[in-house]
């Protein structure tokens, strides 16, 4: 998994490169939007981490240019500004996620992994969450190569959670995901399906309950 880091601050850039390197990513670093464009034009990356405040053209205009030329790789924006306008701008322009400085390196690594995972699942229909391998096209979930025996509703819930792995998925959303098979499903029913799923996943991945909101699928190690 190869990441391009576009950051002009040497201290931050160095920390990101080392941190992501330790987390198992291949990392390249450039200090300006112009050099980033050149790099992305000539080589393949799985993710770009772009700081908004760059010398010359800023990070937002870089994202805009990438999207306008049809460059579809996921972009994670780094920003030191916490105003909503910047966030909305970044996401509107086509960035996939953002992180406000100062950030924790493990969080950056986790977000990067999630973005790359989402991108790959869109391309290959394959998802990996912890020890769980999910084949979206074949509608099969495997642990250590062993296919799990899931009902259709359990599969729908797992699919929904896996596509948003690391993010809280609202209970209503899960209800909608299985509603096509059933008209009257209560919130309690969701809880039943989730507890069955938990038993089947074992230690490979964990489904956290967020009281009053929904569920979150995590790597078991998380």
Partner 1 sequence: MTPHTEHATSVRRRLLSLLLAPLALLLGTGILIDYISASKPIPIAYDQALVNSALAVAAHVQVDEAGHISAVLSPGAEAVLRSDRYDTIYYLVIDPRGEFVAGDRGLPVASSATRNPSYLDAVFRGDPIRVASYRTQTSAGPVTVSVAETRHKRDHGRRRVLASLFATDLVQLAGTLLLVWIGVRYGLRPLTALRDQIAARSARDLAALDVAPVPLEVRPLVHALNRLFETVREAADAQQQFLANAAHQLRTPLGGIMAQLDLLARDPAAAAVRERVLALREGSRRAAHTANRLLALARAEPSALVAGDIRSVDLRALVADAVAAQLDRALAAHIDLGVEAEVVRVPASDWLLRELLANLVDNALTYTPIGGRITLRCGNEGDGAFLEVEDDGPGIPPAERARVLERFYRAPGAPGNGCGLGLAIVDEIARLHGAHLVIAGGAEGRGTRIRLRFPRVV
Interface residue list for partner 1 (CB under 8 A)? 9-12, 14-16, 18-19, 22, 51, 53, 80-87, 100-105, 167-168, 170, 208, 210-213, 216, 222
- Which residues lie closer than 8 Å to 76 by C-beta, 6 or more apart? 47, 48, 49, 50, 95, 96, 97, 98, 99, 108, 111, 112, 115
Smaller CB separation from partner 1, 152 or 208: 208
CB of 219 to partner 1, least distance (A): 12
b/e burial code for range 84-100 (CB count within 10 A of at least 16 → b)? eebbebbeebbbbbbbe
CB of 100 to partner 1, least distance (A): 8
CB of 163 to partner 1, least distance (A): 16
- Which residues lie closer than 8 Å to 150 by C-beta, 6 or more apart? 141, 158, 197, 200
CB of 207 to partner 1, least distance (A): 12
CA distances from 135 to 132, 157, 171 (A): 10, 14, 23
Residue 27's SS3 state is strand
**For tokens 């986790």, what's the residue?**
110
Smaller CB separation from partner 1, 145 or 212: 212
Smaller CB separation from partner 1, 125 or 210: 210
Smaller CB separation from partner 1, 86 or 159: 86
CB of 214 to partner 1, least distance (A): 9
Smaller CB separation from partner 1, 11 or 123: 11
Q: CA 18, 65, 120, 40: dihedral to nearest 10 degrees? A: -50
Distance in angstroms (rounded) separating the CA atoms of residues 91 and 67: 12
Smaller CB separation from partner 1, 120 or 198: 198
CB of 198 to partner 1, least distance (A): 15
């Amino acid at each position: 998994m190869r990441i391009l880091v576009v950051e002009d601050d040497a201290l931050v850039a160095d920390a990101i490169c080392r941190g992501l390197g330790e987390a198992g990513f291949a990392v390249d670093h450039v200090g300006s939007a112009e050099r980033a464009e050149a790099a992305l034009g000539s080589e393949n990356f799985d993710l770009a981490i772009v700081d908004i405040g760059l010398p010359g053209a800023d990070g937002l205009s870089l994202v805009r240019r990438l999207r306008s030329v049809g460059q579809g790789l996921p972009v994670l924006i780094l920003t030191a500004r916490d105003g909503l306008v910047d966030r909305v701008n970044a996401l509107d322009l086509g960035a996939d996620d953002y992180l406000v400085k100062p950030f924790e390196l493990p969080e950056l690594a986790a977000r990067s992994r999630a973005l790359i995972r989402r991108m790959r699942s869109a391309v290959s229909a394959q998802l990996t969450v912890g020890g769980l391998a999910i084949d979206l096209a074949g509608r099969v979930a495997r642990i250590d190569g062993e296919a799990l025996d899931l009902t259709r509703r359990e599969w729908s819930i797992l699919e929904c959670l896996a596509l948003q792995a690391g993010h809280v998925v609202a209970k209503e959303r899960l209800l909608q995901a299985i509603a096509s098979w059933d008209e009257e499903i209560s919130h309690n029913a969701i809880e039943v399906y989730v507890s069955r799923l938990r038993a089947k996943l074992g230690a490979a991945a964990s489904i956290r309950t967020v009281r009053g909101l929904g569920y979150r699928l995590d790597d078991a190690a998380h």
